Structure formats: C-alpha cells, structure tokens
Amino acid sequence: MSDTANFIPHQHNPSAARDVEPPIQARANSNLISLLAEQSFDVIVVGGGPAGSSCAIALAREGASVMLVDARTRGRDKCCGHCLSGGAWKILSELGLRELVQSVATGATGQVAWRSGAQGFEMNLPALGAITPRIELDKKLLEEAERVGVRVAQPATAKWLAGGNVAVRMLDQELSVRAKLVIAADGLGSGIARARGWNPKSPGRKYGFAGSWRAPLALSNWSAQRIEMRVVRGGYLGVVAESQEHIHVAGLIDRNSKVSRPDDLLNEVARDWPLLAQALQEGRPTHWNAAGPLPWKPTCIADEYTALVGDAAGYAEPFSGEGMRWAFESARGLVRAWREHNGWNAAAAQTYSKWHCDHIAGRQQKTLRTAWFLGEPKRAALMCQTARAFPRVASWLACNMIQ
C-alpha cells in the first residue's frame, strides 16, 4: 500500500458549535444584499459542500466573478461518512486544495473490514485515504473561497428562475440575481435539478444517515486506519474512529425494510459486534443527519445555463470515501471544461457532460454492482467468503473502493 499523504491529526470535537450563525456572518449578508442589486456574476454556485466550494474557489482563481449561496449556517454537520478515498489526492493537488484538506484530517484510512453474520474478510486499500470531518472541512473550504474573492451568502437559499436568473433569499429579503452559469451543488434531490426538470423519473428507495458520539473506552480497542463495514438485512453500517474519543457511523437503509430507522440498524449490528455494543453503552448520537433518495441519477447534468456537480450530478452507494472524491472530481471536470472553452457555453456543457459520464458515472455503476451483493446478508456473506478464498476478488473490491 502506497503512503500518499502524511497526516498530523487535527483534533475534532463533533459536539462543538453546531447551528451557530456568527454575528459577523449576518453583517456580511446584510452588506451583500446591497451589492447584489448592483451587479451580476459570471457564476452562482448553489451549495457550500466540497463540490460547490471547490468549484467556486477554482473558478475565482480563473478570474471569474463568483457568488456562493448555501442554505445552512456555517459549522453545521452534514450526512457523510467523513472518509476521503486515497484516489482523491491527485485531484486535490490539481485543484490546489490538497494542503487545506490535509489540515483538517483527523486520521488516515488504509484498511476495510467487511462482515455479514459469521463471514468476513479484511483488505488493505491501495492508497491511504483520510478521515475529514465535514464541519471542519466545509468551514475551511468556505474560508478559502472568501479569501480568493467569492461572495458567500450563508445562510441563504436560491431558486432557479430562467435563463441564468436565480432568486436569492436571505435576511427575509429576496432578490433576483443573474449569472452566466448556475452551478447546482445542492446535493441529493437537487432543487435546481428539479426546477430544470432533470430529476430522475424513478428515484431510489434508500436513504443515508450519519452521526457521532463520544466513546473513548470502546475506541481504546480500535485498530488504526480501519473502516469497519457491517451488513444486516435491510441496510449496512460503516464505522470509523473520528478521533481518539469520538466514533462516527454512517449507513444506508432501504425504506421498505424492517430496519427502517438509524437506531434500529445500530442495535441490529451491535447484537453481533461487542465493540459497537460497548460504544452504545457510552452514548449515542444526539441527532442524526440524513440524505436521500439513493441512488440519484438526473436525466441531464448540464446545458448552456446550468451545471450539476457533486451529489446533485449523480450518486450511487459509496463505501469508503468515493462520495467526496466524486465531489472534488466533478469540480475538476467542470473547471477543465470552463478553461477549454474560455468560459461557459453550450459546447462547454457538452464537454463537461461527456467528461462526467466517462470519469464518474461509469465508476458509480461499479459501486452499484458491489452494492447489489451487500443488499442481502446471504449474498454479502458469499462475497466475504469468496474474497477471503480468492485474493484477486479482494483486490478487485479494493480497486472499486478508491474510484
């Protein structure tokens, strides 16, 4: 396994400052309202997660005037496994964001252990990934966006009107803002995609959830750099040590299964896993972050006015950090198309759409095939047996996990 990143763990407390809007941000929004009436932008980005912020940063560095609108207050957690796959480091280097992301990493990921019932196997990942808690990562990216000149409105909402016009609402005021390109980085079920009529005709029936809590005694027995995956009927659960004292879980549940709530899935997995049972004796998440539907595959991702990036552009069932990699990679693809065509137009939209299909959508289909094995414990157990008996199968799975 190649060591592609050096980590000095950043100490992260998931229970610190959530849902807090600093007065300085409110004043910044008030000042921004007066500016919006006086100018248009080259780009409006809707959504301040990794995909949206990295697009805003990269395009601002290209000389574009950029506004970013995010509905959440800064410092809020989001539904995410907090893992970044090792395949993302080259992408982050190209975007000029590698050092920033490494600065918030609380640890590395280098091994995945799968278990379904009595069957299980372990495998090393070809490249070290990172544990990057979203509260800190998103804050750092937004700060960098502001540093390079992006106008950030947060909390604020954006609604597609027509032909590059967006209705931005903040501080109980609504203004129409115009841009040459509207980038939708507003996640699963994207409101911009729906307004454009690009939403899937048959959305998925699954949803994801995530939460953290303090469990230092259980984590004293945790193996470093490990992602633990547990499969039960109706869903699966991924677990990492977010810090030396905090455990983080993220899972996927089928809406039609008997295990229909996050706590139900936790309890089901804990029945056969003493370490999780011990962690649950120390506490539980005080709240869950959820997202859906899954999978999400819009009918179109770009035209001359709009482009979808990150989860909004398509999402499968990532297992060990592919989701954040796809977010950064979609930003890289969009910026390349912008650069190739000296801005945004119908040709740039076509270039980006083809690039996304070739580099991201195809690999997402691979994760869906892997997810099919995980959808039922007997199939998952068979996969575990096969991977343990045939190292090439485990190697194939490992390659799929750094897509």
Query: By the 8 A CB rule, do 381 and 229 touch?
Result: no
Q: Among 70-84, 292-306, 328-342, 354-368, which range has the highest average pLDDT?
A: 328-342
Does the pLDDT at position 99 exceed 90? yes
| φ/ψ (deg, to 5) at 258 | -70, -30
Q: Token match 């803002």: residue?
A: 177
Q: How distant is the alpha carbon of residue 163 from its chain centre?
A: 28
Selection from 50, 79, 114 nearest residue 290 by Cα: 79
Q: For 154-256, where are the alpha helices, taking DSSP H only?
A: 191-195, 216-219
Percent of the chain scoring above 90 in pLDDT: 57
Q: What is the pLDDT of residue 118?
A: 74
E-state strands within 15-170: 41-46, 66-69, 83-84, 107-116, 119-131, 151-153, 157-162, 165-170
What's the mean pLDDT in 106-116?
88
CA angle 358, 66, 200 (to 5 degrees): 40
Does the pLDDT at position 372 exceed 80? no
CA atoms of 167 and 182, how far apart (whole Å)? 12
**Which two structure tokens, joined as six digits, stand for 257?**
């299964």
Question: In the Cβ-directed half-sphere of 366, how many Cα atoms lie within 13 Å?
Answer: 16
In this prediction, residue 40 has a pLDDT band, given cuts at 50, 70 and 90, of confident
- Collapsing DSSP states into helix, strand and coil, what is residue 3? coil
CA atoms of 130 and 355, how far apart (whole Å)? 26
Map out the domains of the chain as residue ranges.
Answer: 23-81+97-106+134-203+296-372
Torsion of CA 385, 254, 136, 177, to 10 degrees: 140
Q: Token match 């070290």: residue?
A: 128
Q: How distant is the alpha carbon of residue 20 from its chain centre?
A: 21
Q: What is the pLDDT of residue 373?
A: 64
Query: By the 8 A CB rule, do 105 and 76 touch?
Result: no
Q: List pLDDT tens digits, range 294-308.
A: 888 999 999 999 999
Q: List pLDDT tens digits, range 192-221.
A: 999 999 998 877 788 899 999 999 999 998
What's the mean pLDDT in 352-364?
90
Which has more confidence, 370 or 157?
A: 157
**For residue 179, what are the contacts with CB-CB under 8 A and spacing of at least 6?**
40, 41, 42, 43, 44, 67, 164, 166
CA atoms of 202 and 196, how far apart (whole Å)? 16
Selection from 138, 164, 137 nearest residue 47 by Cα: 138
Q: For 271-374, where are the alpha helices, taking DSSP H only?
A: 274-282, 322-340, 346-356, 362-374
Strands of the sheet containing 235-241, edge to edge, are 83-84, 119-131, 107-116, 226-232, 235-241, 246-254, 206-214, 289-294
Q: What is the pLDDT of residue 382?
A: 72
Q: How distant is the alpha carbon of residue 382 from its chain centre?
A: 29
**For residue 17, what are the contacts with CB-CB under 8 A and spacing of at least 6?**
75
Q: Are strands 173-184 and 206-214 parallel, antiparallel or unpaired?
A: unpaired
23-81+97-106+134-203+296-372 CATH: 3.50.50.60
Selection from 63, 62, 230, 52 nearest residue 152 by Cα: 52
Which has more confidence, 249 or 402?
A: 249
Does the pLDDT at position 399 exceed 60? no
